[in-house]
Chain A
Amino acid sequence: DQQVKQNSPSLSVQEGRISILNCDYTNSMFDYFLWYKKYPAEGPTFLISISSIKDKNEDGRFTVFLNKSAKHLSLHIVPSQPGDSAVYFCAASSGGGADGLTFGKGTHLIIQP
């Protein structure tokens, strides 16, 4: 039973445009959500997070939106840059992460010049 789902295995976006990565979750106990970025042969690196008490968090070119009623979050990257090409993982936790993070399978973002 996959509690965090990223339904798009890959996404291709033109440089300079907006990239929107989506994530759905089923566990209503999740109260903290994170996005990680992963390059080949490297570990995931933290990108941005959001608490369930908020519906938006922004950090530079990255914005995460949370829709609790739909159990959906999205990551917006604008403008998209070639260095953004990577695999993006959505992750969720409950209770401060006492049971670790639950990850989606990832979306491979390809930024085309």
Chain B
Amino acid sequence: DSGVTQTPKHLITATGQRVTLRCSPRSGDLSVYWYQQSLDQGLQFLIQYYNGEERAKGNILERFSAQQFPDLHSELNLSSLELGDSALYFCASSSGGVYGYTFGSGTRLTVV
């Protein structure tokens, strides 16, 4: 157990729908990062939050949004889903930059 908890582990939904992925960071970590891994691709950085505030944005689509709550858990909202959004979504947490990155086990999203 890495200490980073992601729920649900699997999600199947239809095109056009909206889903919410949840991440609880490791105890004490203030930063949360979201990554997407599509088939045969490396992990693509989506967005980072630090102590409730958005810190950096990567290749995140406008249909996607995220937030980090006062208890530091984070949610990634994906809307108007398309087949191409099917992927593994990973959350990572850190206490300081990239040096102490810990990943969760991911949420596998399948859009049908």
Whether A89 pairs with B98 at a CB distance below 8 angstroms is no
CA distance A16 to B19 in the complex (A): 46
Whether A104 pairs with B103 at a CB distance below 8 angstroms is no
Binary per-residue interface labels of chain B (31-56) against chain A in the complex, 1 for a CB within 8 Å, 0 otherwise: 00101000011111100100000011
Number of interface residues of B (CB under 8 A): 26
Given A43-B106, A46-B101, A93-B98: A98 touches B43 (CB 8 Å cut-off): no
Write the chain A residue with the least CB distance to B2. A43
Q: Which of B4, B42, B105, B106 contacts A103 (CB 8 A)?
A: B42
Residues of A within 8 A of B45 (CB): 99-102
Whether A98 pairs with B42 at a CB distance below 8 angstroms is no
CA distance A6 to B42 in the complex (A): 10
CA distance A23 to B33 in the complex (A): 23
In the complex, whether B86 has a CB less than 8 A from a CB of chain A is: no
In the complex, whether A59 has a CB less than 8 A from a CB of chain B is: no
Residues of B within 8 A of A102 (CB): 45
Residues of A within 8 A of B25 (CB): none
A27 to chain B, nearest CB (A): 13
Residues of B within 8 A of A89 (CB): 42-43
Whether A41 pairs with B43 at a CB distance below 8 angstroms is no
In the complex, whether B58 has a CB less than 8 A from a CB of chain A is: yes
Residues of A within 8 A of B56 (CB): 98-100
Binary per-residue interface labels of chain B (1-30) against chain A in the complex, 1 for a CB within 8 Å, 0 otherwise: 010101000000000000000000000000
In the complex, whether A79 has a CB less than 8 A from a CB of chain B is: no
Interface residues of A in 87-107 (CB under 8 A from B): 89, 91, 93, 96-106
7 new A-B contacts at CB < 8 Å, known A45-B103, A93-B97? A6-B42, A43-B6, A43-B105, A98-B56, A100-B98, A104-B42, A105-B41
